[in-house]
Structure 1
Amino acid sequence: MLLLVFTGCFSQDQETTDKKDPKETTNTTDSKPTDQKEQPKAEKKVLKLNNVSNPGSLHPQLAQGTHESWVLEHSFEGLTKKTPEGKIVPGMAADWTFSDDGLTWTFTLKDNIQWSNGDPVTAHDFEYAWKFALDPANASYYSYQLYYLEGGEEYNTAEDGADMNALRDAVGVKAVDDKTLEVKLAKPTPYFLDLTSFYTYYPVHKGNAEAHSNWALSGDNYVSNGPFVLAEWKQKESMKLVKNQNYYDKDLIKLDEVDFVIIDDENTAWQMYRTGELDLVYPLPQDVTGQLNASNDPEFRIGPDLAVYYYNLNTTVKPLNNQKVRQALGMAIDRQAIVEHVSQGGQTPAYGVVPKGIPDVSGDFNENGGKLFEENAEKAKALLAEGLAEEGLSSFPNMVLTYNTSEGHKAIAEAIQEMWRKNLDVNITLENVEFQVKLDREKAGDFQISRAGWIGDYVDPMTFIDLWHSKSPFNDARYNNPTYDQLVEKAQSTMDQSVRMTAMHEAHALLMEEMPVIPIYFYTKPYTLKPYVTGIFDPINSYPQFMFADINK
């Protein structure tokens, strides 16, 4: 998923002593107190935290960034979900079966699952949501994540004049009845079950969505099926989630309310944390991260993340269309200096786009691939001269590096700007814009160099490798190499892990050789958490999860 913040990582320390085991359970009825005297009213438990950008939409099929997914992961639930340990367990589904060839899946929904308005969650809501994402009229950026379905790509990419009703009916998802969802895949997908916990695969209340077209843009008509529901959204100011009393596992949810303030300035958020106005803050200012890390502050948490920080190079813009020029820009950056002196959050230099933490046939995919390019200022200078000459240029033209508003992104951009000036005699202008503006401009190709980040949607190299397939909606660099596409498609066409991994290693090496994107570092997620908040857990590819959090002041 698109990554908004500049640093990352959540602690692996999980506090579970004040809550039940967050695994599959059934609802229990609250017991009545034997003492008939009036009980004192318990203080409302409210978690206060920051979100660094205003969401574009809180519709599962229209969301595209972490500023949206963080809310969706707590207000919706898919067929499956993940435990704090990362295990895939039943969510809305009670169980599932699949055919021997792995192409046909049948999910049976749980009994008595409800939307936040009390209506039953049905298989029809899943079919509706998935086909909504694939409908080209809805322009879902994540529609490609449903190309695994039989007929999904054909429906989403249909041209004018096509029989859209027939194409829609041919998509491989069907509600056999209210409780049974049949899914047919176009090709074997080893990580499909993982995908069913991802937000693009969440259901949507069909009746509510059809009655209220703007339901996902405010709390007025918001209906969801997860632990919390959106109650209020003041655009660019705040969001309020409240406990969903109709959630089947509501007894595991200890918080009454979660209040987000929308702040794009890390220093402001940090000051609010220090004064007690916020209970959790992420991201932190870089200097604060360095200080907290060095002092072993007990409220400071840090851990691994499945994410990469990189720069897009618009390969349709001269001279970024030249491979040697792109290689020169990538080789002239001192990544170790950036992670040690700028980001300061325990990040590691990236010499590829696939981070550690993803299994290979044996071992770790990243470690098996090794460093896919080198840092060498002298060689970079020579390559730049050759590339510019091939494009008929005597010098590198003035260009703009665009990043979304953040002191962290600014500091990194300034460091790289200086490295390019010193090592290549290249002058780059820096430009900061709101996150949504950056996304829109990248989609339109209205940029030269842009800051980007990506958190893996699932734990497989493909979640990074397929980003730069020529047809990927997230291929903002406009990279187009038929050999790369063929390697990606080969890896997507088989359940044979050896064949898959070999193809993805070859694709990864080719991508770094041609360098349409420049990896900078692999994220961590440094954040601060008040000691009275327990039960926060940290998935490898998501922001801190608070559905099982508790507050005991």
Structure 2
Amino acid sequence: MKVLTINLMGVKLRTIQKENGGFYMKKWIALVCSCMLLFAGCSTKEEGTAGSGQTSTQDPVKTNELTVAVGAQFTTLDPALNSELINGYVMQHTYGTLFTKDEDNNLIPDLAESCEISDDGLTYTVKLKEGIQWSDGVPLTAEHFRYGIVRALTYGAENAWSIYNLVTYLDGAAAYESDDTQDAESLQIPGVQAVDDTTLVFQLTKPCAFFKALMNSYAFMPVRADFAPQHDSTWSFAPGYPSVGPYILEECNENDKIIVTKNENYYRADEITLDKITFQVMTDMDAQALAFKNNDIDIALRVNSSLPLTYENKEELWKVESPSNYFLVINSGPTGPEWMQDVRVRRALALAIDKEAMVTAVGDPSYYVPLDGYVPNGLKGAEKDFRTESDEKEKFLEYDPEEAKNLLKEAGYDESNPLKITYKYSQTTLHADVAAVLQGMWKAIGVDCELEVVESGVYYNQIFNGDFEIARYGYTASDDPSQFLTLWTTTQQQTPAVDDPEYDKMMDAATYIVDYNEYMEALHNIEHYLVQEQVYLIPLFNYGDPMLKKTYVKNTTHVGATPFYGYCTIEK
């Protein structure tokens, strides 16, 4: 689920996540664009100089309220529709899932008690914890999960990204994809069956090594027909509907703020320490920093990337680790220029980039870490972190400007016939800084690079339509390395920038592998082909947007890469 983004991270998935909160695949979420939230305010504000780290001379006063400033307006709180990180920051607190993640990104049971998997990897039998109730006292049943999944499947065309995994893996789901003529209460598909009140059975069309992780995604969240109609999502912004998560929606103005309060019926309510959390919309990064300085908010999750370089009180700087990458996509597909068809040219552009120098130029290197491969750090491999496993064998596309010049010469380019390219990016300070660095590095090997900046609102439409030569991209996902790799299959691209039948074949074959270690080895080979052999993409860096958190906010935790505030304590 998703990321982070960078303005980068906010990407929209194209069927996975895109700018503003996560990249989606068919539309990448603007994870990178919208990026992250900002924590804000408590009931009383600290006296003293903001950002100074000074604490009150009075005895600490414990409060049970927190305000979180987010970097964009909310668009939905309906799990059948959501694909944006901003919404997810609230939904993480108001919904429950079969499985969740700890701070190390390990999958652990939440509403599920157990899960048995058949030897062929096609049948998952999930038993629910007994005695769990919704906030209104109604017992949670397997039917609430079945309805939620089928409702998402048949909601309509608006949520094509959200149901990608349902359609891909659940038996019988493809026949009803976005079919809004169906009745989700009565429609039964083999792929998800409520056998009894506490038993849910999933039947897959092919193995999925990370299917348990998918049970942590939005489309698998339980909802009830009595408050979540099949083809309407406005209820999700109407305070008062039942919750099976730690908090209940109390107040909602999607353009201003959302307030959630503790669900006393939550099955682990005795562990929840905060009574109220306010998510305050503040789209301007400078405004968030100022609000933090003035003690109007407790945490700012979206501030300027250069802030850590000059910020005085380092204890207030906060970084949430997230499996996120910033990379370049080369349009070698049917709408791309002829020169992009030559792997020597693609490789030359990659070898000309000094990533160490780049991250130093664009911000604090502790927040922007050079990537030696496409899949970022933070995702589990066979035995270690997936990125670590690969880097220990080989680092992809290492800086070598002399070899870059030789490759261009082999491809027919020199001073009398320089390679001319256009680099496209969306309008933010970070993207502009990266573009300027790239332009200079490519110039050093004889490439004439023209920069084209596009408004964020239309940027990804142009990318999806294949209207670019080489462009920046950002993506985040936390379930499995394949989420990054499937983005570049032809079926997951609106207009393919990577149009390679061999790559499609490799990705498809990997989905049928049941043995986990063999599956991970296949993904390593796929990444090697995508980046090192064919150079369809050029990895640049892992990014973790800087945030600010008051030192009196204690015990912040994460569900995977997403901040969770329910266990926070605040001492002023």
Give the alignment's TM-score, normalised by structure 2.
0.77
Root mean square deviation of aligned Cα: 3.5
Indicate yes or no: 2:332 matched with 1:317: no
For the residues of structure 1 that align with 2:453 and 2:105, how far apart are their CA atoms? Answer: 39
The residue aligned with 2:275 is 256
Residue number among 241, 245, 262 corresponding to 2:264 in the alignment? 245
1:429 corresponds to which residue?
452
Native 8 Å contact 2:62 2:569 kept in 1: no
Which residue in the other structure is 1:455 paired with? 476
Residues matched between the structures, number: 506
Q: Which residue of 2 aligns with 1:305?
A: 322
Displacement of 1:87: 4.2
Q: CA 1:517–1:291 in structure 2 vs 1: closer, same or farther (change >3 Å)?
A: same
Q: Which residue does the alignment assign to 2:502?
A: 483
Match of 2:215 in 1: 196
Q: C-alpha separation between the residues in 1 aligned to 2:476 and 2:218?
A: 13
Q: Offset of 1:307 from its aligned partner?
A: 1.9
Specify the code of the residue in structure 2 equivalent to 1:189. C
Question: 1:401 aligned to 2:424?
Answer: yes
Q: Counterparts of 2:225 and 2:177 in 1: how far apart (Å)? A: 23
Counterpart of 1:155 (choices 168, 172, 175) is 175
Distance of aligned partners of 1:151 and 1:331 in 2 relative to their CA distance in 1, 3 Å threshold: same
Match of 2:232 in 1: 213
The correspondence of residues 261-410 of structure 1 with structure 2, limited to 5 A, is 261-292=280-311, 297-302=314-319, 304-314=321-331, 315-319=333-337, 321-324=340-343, 325-346=345-366, 347-369=368-390, 370-380=394-404, 383=407, 396=420, 399=422, 401-403=424-426, 406-410=428-432
**CA 1:158–1:243: 2 relative to 1, 3 Å:** closer
d(CA) in 2 for partners of 1:51 and 1:387? 48
* In structure 2, C-alpha distance between the alignment counterparts of 1:449 and 1:234, rounded to whole Å: 39
Pick closer, same or farther for the CA change 1:378–1:297 going to 2, 3 Å.
same
Among residues 53, 57, 61, which one is paired with 2:72 in the alignment?
53
Is this contact kept in 2: 1:6–1:283, CA < 8 A? no
Q: Which residue of 1 aligns with 2:540?
A: 520
Secondary structure of the structure 2 residue equivalent to 1:471? helix
Judge conservation of contact 2:193–2:200 (CA < 8 Å) in 1.
yes
Pairwise mapping of residues 8-19 of structure 1 onto structure 2 (< 5 A)?
Answer: none
Give the equivalent residue in structure 1 for 2:557.
Answer: 537
Q: How far off its partner does 1:416 sit?
A: 3.0
- 1:411 is the counterpart of 2:436: no
Aligned-pair distance for 1:279? Answer: 1.0
1:65-214 pair list within 5 angstroms: 65-135=84-154, 137-147=157-167, 149-151=169-171, 154-155=174-175, 169-210=188-229, 213-214=232-233
Q: CA deviation at 1:5?
A: 2.5
User: Structure 1 417/153 Cα, relative in aligned 2: closer, same or farther at 3 Å?
Assistant: farther
1:169–1:444 Cα change, 3 Å? farther
Cα deviations by residue, 1:287-346 (Å, 9 ceiling, x for unpaired): 212234xx6722223464322122334444331752445444433333212222313141
Q: Write the distance in 2 (CA, Å) between the matches of 1:486 and 1:290.
A: 45
1:536 Cα deviation after fit: 0.5
Gaps of 5+ in 2: 10-60
Distance 1:453 1:318, change over 3 A: closer
Check whether the contact 1:81–1:90 (CA below 8 A) recurs between aligned residues.
Answer: yes
Post-superposition CA distance 1:374-424 (Å, at most 9, x none)? 3344544565677698xxx98636x46232x64333433343344445542
Could you tell me how far apart the structure 1 residues matched to 2:352 and 2:112 are? 50
Question: CA 1:552–1:123 in structure 2 vs 1: closer, same or farther (change >3 Å)?
Answer: same
Q: What amino acid is aligned across from residue 546 of structure 2 in structure 1?
A: P
Kept in 2: contact 1:312–1:476 (CA 8 A): no
Q: Distance in 2 between matches of 1:164 and 1:519?
A: 45
Query: Matched residues in 2 for 1:323 and 1:224: separation?
Result: 54
From the superposition, tell whether residues 502 and 98 of structure 1 become closer, same or farther in structure 2 (CA, over 3 Å).
closer
Decide whether the 8 Å contact of 2:285 with 2:304 is kept in 1.
Answer: yes
Unaligned runs of 5+ in 1: 9-41
Q: For 2:131 and 2:170, how far apart are their aligned partners in 1? A: 30
Task: Verify the 8 A CA contact 1:7 1:526 in the aligned structure 2.
Answer: no
Q: Contact 1:149–1:171 (CA<8 Å) still a contact in 2?
A: no
Amino acid aligned to 1:180: T
CA distance, structure 2, for counterparts of residue 260 and residue 386 of structure 1: 56
Q: Cα–Cα, structure 1 residues 138 and 119, in superposed 2: closer, same or farther, change >3 Å?
A: farther
Using the alignment, how far apart are the partners of 1:211 and 1:117 within structure 2? 21
Residues 328 and 59 from structure 1, CA distance in 2 versus in 1: closer, same or farther, beyond 3 angstroms? farther
Rounded Cα–Cα distance in structure 1 between residues aligned with 2:182 and 2:258: 41
* 8 Å CA contact 2:69, 2:281 repeated in 1: yes
Percent sequence identity is 28
Secondary structure at the counterpart of residue 176 of structure 1: strand
Deviation at 1:86, TM superposition (A): 4.1
TM-score of the two chains, using structure 1 as the length reference: 0.80
SS in 2 for 1:337: helix
Distance of 1:149 and 1:326 partners within structure 2 = 35
Cα distance in 2, alignment partners of residues 222 and 462 from structure 1: 35
